[in-house]
Structure 1
């Protein structure tokens, strides 16, 4: 009880410092607990998106599961009914409960084999038409249909005939009307005596076509070529008869896939294994059709990758927070060292001292444990609407919730924080009053990291990892391995973090020598304030190392995170826009007038030709070519949201002929240079000159053409040379080469047109559209569109519908970019790096203020003495300013240098997460000045606030406090 009272008094005496420590603990626990919250939210969104994408691509509802029993010769006739009842009993009792998720519908579909239909009255029905039908029954069928003609069938035979209903398409296919009767006979044995008499009495359709009942196994197409009776009558007269007429049965389960989450999804996986174990593995003729299993399989694989990535991304921030906790704890212990020394001298043991600090930190960590997950919840909600690095949009946030896992993470963080905070207390408990005074008198003892060269070790490990990554990147580039599905290697962030720490420690190691050098250079000319500051920093350099290292790590970590995010986001944006070439590409529909037949002569292949499509001697080819009617182009320029539009004729089967060399499969683009230049997207620096200069070359001569660097090098073609171009079924047309290009909007110079053909090279030619249309038959072109600032794709689409513009296909770079940003790895990356940047600024600001306020507060007597011996207040403020500049200011510069170096060395390695063989345009490092300005502004604000507080503290110092010098 005494220890607790002492702890509470200590907390009260140091309440502001304790509050700072508590804030750091809450932020630390909140960050750590946000990892599972944010990860689960991103994965939940990704999981639902995968189901939605599957439904759009396959046009099948993915939230379905079906078990089928289709009898073949593997199951003897006499055993079929027994097998049906055993499987049915298992499915009815266990299957739905095994899924553990509410069901839209659980359907049983019964069906006989296909029968041949023969009219009972040949006068009423055409007997020459072949008709086939199965007798089918669905559970709960009556609840989901409505009769549009006739009536519902009776639940028993009437006059020896089973009354049935059909859908309208079946009735039309049978070419019959209601009331007609048929015999169902063996489809392969027309003389079989086993006949089933049916009478069509009604026509049905679904009550609601959007009903999930029709999205599962019992979809509408499965009702064709079937006549329906009630399921009770089917079991009574078709299943239970001997021999049974049952041929096929399917148990279908349809559920809301939006309700699948990270917990119950494993129930679905276990249910699949459980059902297969008791059906497919026990009986013949059984199958399982699951729409969700492939989706969940892919999801689980990416789930583990994403968790590792997010955890790795947060490691630097967590280290920074631990460093903050350690720094504040050290300051707290440093302030209480005299008190600890007195307690030790009066008989207190290490255990008593450590126990008091353990209780204090446990109380604070308990508060952080309770509040931290709530903070983590809101952190995850904010990050969930990130559209990029430090970019937030008004859209539906990811689904986040506080789970047990988040509290487990919070508990782990709290325990680690307690241990971290106890480390300074442990070392302080070793000092008595005498040793404490001796320690204060000399600061020449090297720090632990200096003594064991941890800076050199960290730098060595990080640089070796860099070498390993570069070797791997070289292998990927040489082998052209497709790395599209590779996630970012977690070791990359560990290596960069080690480099930041190692480089920071190394710079701080050599900084005292720089200070001493500055002191020696001008010790006779420096003003008093700077002279005293240099002495203070030189003699007490170890006291400033902690703050400087903290600032270096926080600033460089934030800058590295900012550059990483900017680089990855920019390269993804550039890759998408380069591949499309503009905002939106429309493929219009062209009407045809008539077809013509054209003949052309194909020259014989030569021995030194390139990639030739044929090796036969000269032959004449006839091509049937449609005559197209070009629609009005002006309509596209008038569509809502369109700023500029351009015609782009594009095909990839042109042939280039030069000095008897033939290159097939050449991509040919024909453009209006002026319009094209206004619509295109192109990164500067990809070509030797600005792309507009190449467009000007095209405009200077109608027959001018630009060719790719691959063609130029392979056939030694230079500007000024004439080449011939032909299309299938056309004559050769002569062009003059005006320029050589190695990149062009939408053209990938790394992608070979013919895989496996060593002679094939990616080739491109760009010509003037009017000249091409004059010399080649008129053919459809694409329309490239650049949207107005602020215009949306939806505006354009609505305008297309309103103006009834016929479009075959649309390629939308904006939508592809949105899809890329919604990728779970992109969401996680942007969210984690944004969080890292924000926390870096906050922690840097808090740590700076705490350190200087406490540091200057402990030097209050020193300032009083300086004032007493005649130092002006202005000189004292000047000394503090110089001290800030030479510590915090230099640390800021060091942090920017280290952050820049780490970005230059490690950010390029992020291209391993991209397709190494198809990275066009080339990967570039991006550093936004705005990110650096955020850091600089935050540090400037820190300096101003710090100086204001320090100035206020110094102004209140009384001269007579210098008398207390003996007590210091």
Structure 2
């Protein structure tokens, strides 16, 4: 009959806890997005370009890169679980429809080795990484193209595109590649240029030799990328342009601006929780003051103090539990809708891949349960203290 009196405190609890859940989820999402961005940039746990000084300084450098050791030599290094060849070449894409040329990039991968080392997220393509590799296996000259590129140029699966691949100094090939699949995002691929993904063995077979390529590695559990880089010379070559995903993550996490952002989110969560608790406690105390004559009448009618306390405790317990649950739902929905829009980096750099909202359920539900439990206990203590201290005064003044 008096449910309208609960609207204000209930809204306070819902809004405050929703804000807390939202900030906590944003912190978890940004934390994971940092990891995703670094792995997206590196492509794997560790990536580098093999380097041989004698080849670079030679007056007559040879075309090709047969001097690069096979991946088995890298896999034999301590701390390396798997290695894969990844060619990264410039490309010129010739579009017959409008007779234009587009400068792009050709990423040549080993479809067998690549899935063992690459970092790949479920939302990068409409099918799994294994499915994309199977498409490349269907045709040696097959390529994967960006979904947007396919739509913008009115192309379709099984269409052919003429691409000139610049594999090395003085070594290029022009071929009609077959579109066998599409992707939305791919490790190391950014929106500033069109990137085609094809079979590295097809490139090497065309030239009759190995072309320069990068090596991507997956580290064994507990292995350190820096230690692996130090032992790469044991294979007979050095490494340049190293990308150690874990080291990059630690470097980003140590930046003061990131510490400030996460500190703000933490304080926001704590402030929202404290505001909800203080608001509910204030309402509880004021409500008891208004209803003390009602309780006095119930006491005079024969109800025991325990019954009155139980009734009021149940009332506020339901109010607190409902507010906490509603706050979680509202905060989670808000996080799903708005957190992906906060793709901001400290240096204003690339913002790939997309930010996926993470609802920190492992933290939210224990915290919400602890909040509800603590509030119920505090309310019971407040109720008992108020009733036992003022009930006699109410009875004396009211009758």
Change (3 A) 1:813 1:875: same
Change (3 A) 1:878 1:785: same
Larger deviation: 828-837 or 623-632?
Answer: 623-632
Give the structure 2 partner of residue 583 of structure 1: 45
Tell me the CA shift for residue 706 of structure 1: 1.6
- The 5 A counterparts of 1:805-844 are 806-842=238-274, 844=276
Answer yes or no: is the 8 Å Cα contact 1:565–1:830 preserved in 2: yes
Give the structure 1 partner of residue 35 of structure 2: 573
Question: Unpaired segments of 5 or more residues in structure 1?
Answer: 1-533, 598-622, 752-761
CA distance in 2, matches of 1:779, 1:666: 18
Count of aligned residue pairs for this structure pair: 391
CA distance in 1, matches of 2:97, 2:22: 53
2:124 is aligned, of 673, 686, 702, to 686
Change (3 A) 1:905 1:700: closer
RMSD between aligned residues: 4.1
Say which SS state the counterpart of residue 123 (structure 2) adopts: coil
Say which SS state the counterpart of residue 705 (structure 1) adopts: strand
Answer yes or no: is the 8 Å Cα contact 1:587–1:783 preserved in 2: yes
Tell me the CA shift for residue 943 of structure 1: 4.3
Larger deviation: 799-808 or 787-796?
Answer: 799-808
CA distance in 1, matches of 2:163, 2:382: 78
Change (3 A) 1:704 1:961: closer
Answer yes or no: is the 8 Å Cα contact 2:109–2:197 preserved in 1: yes
- The 5 A counterparts of 1:13-24 are none
Change (3 A) 1:670 1:927: same
2:374 is aligned, of 914, 938, 942, to 942
Say which SS state the counterpart of residue 181 (structure 2) adopts: strand
Question: Unpaired segments of 5 or more residues in structure 2?
Answer: none
Answer yes or no: is the 8 Å Cα contact 1:656–1:662 preserved in 2: yes
Deviations 1:915-942 (A, max 9, x none): 9994322344443223432442222322
Give the structure 2 partner of residue 646 of structure 1: 84
Which one has the largest radius of gyration? Answer: 1
1:557 is aligned, of 19, 33, 42, to 19
Say which SS state the counterpart of residue 112 (structure 2) adopts: helix
CA distance in 2, matches of 1:904, 1:587: 39
Answer yes or no: is the 8 Å Cα contact 1:571–1:924 preserved in 2: yes
Say which SS state the counterpart of residue 674 (structure 1) adopts: coil
Larger deviation: 709-718 or 695-704?
Answer: 709-718
1:794 is aligned, of 215, 223, 226, to 226
- The 5 A counterparts of 1:397-476 are none
Tell me the CA shift for residue 738 of structure 1: 1.1
CA distance in 1, matches of 2:336, 2:121: 20
Tell me the CA shift for residue 747 of structure 1: 0.8
Answer yes or no: is the 8 Å Cα contact 2:95–2:161 preserved in 1: yes
Change (3 A) 1:912 1:879: same
Say which SS state the counterpart of residue 706 (structure 1) adopts: strand
1:668 is aligned, of 100, 106, 109, to 106
Give the structure 2 partner of residue 743 of structure 1: 185
Answer yes or no: is the 8 Å Cα contact 1:559–1:932 preserved in 2: yes
Larger RCO (CA under 8 A, 6+ residues apart): 2
Answer yes or no: is the 8 Å Cα contact 1:649–1:769 preserved in 2: yes
Answer yes or no: is the 8 Å Cα contact 2:340–2:354 preserved in 1: no
Say which SS state the counterpart of residue 727 (structure 1) adopts: strand
Change (3 A) 1:794 1:854: farther
CA distance in 1, matches of 2:258, 2:7: 37
If the length of structure 1 is used for normalisation, what is the TM-score? 0.36
Tell me the CA shift for residue 829 of structure 1: 0.5
Say which SS state the counterpart of residue 832 (structure 1) adopts: helix
Answer yes or no: is the 8 Å Cα contact 2:106–2:165 preserved in 1: no
Answer yes or no: is the 8 Å Cα contact 2:257–2:346 preserved in 1: no
Tell me the CA shift for residue 668 of structure 1: 1.1
Give the structure 2 partner of residue 887 of structure 1: 319
Tell me the CA shift for residue 803 of structure 1: 6.5
CA distance in 1, matches of 2:355, 2:285: 45
Tell me the CA shift for residue 692 of structure 1: 2.6
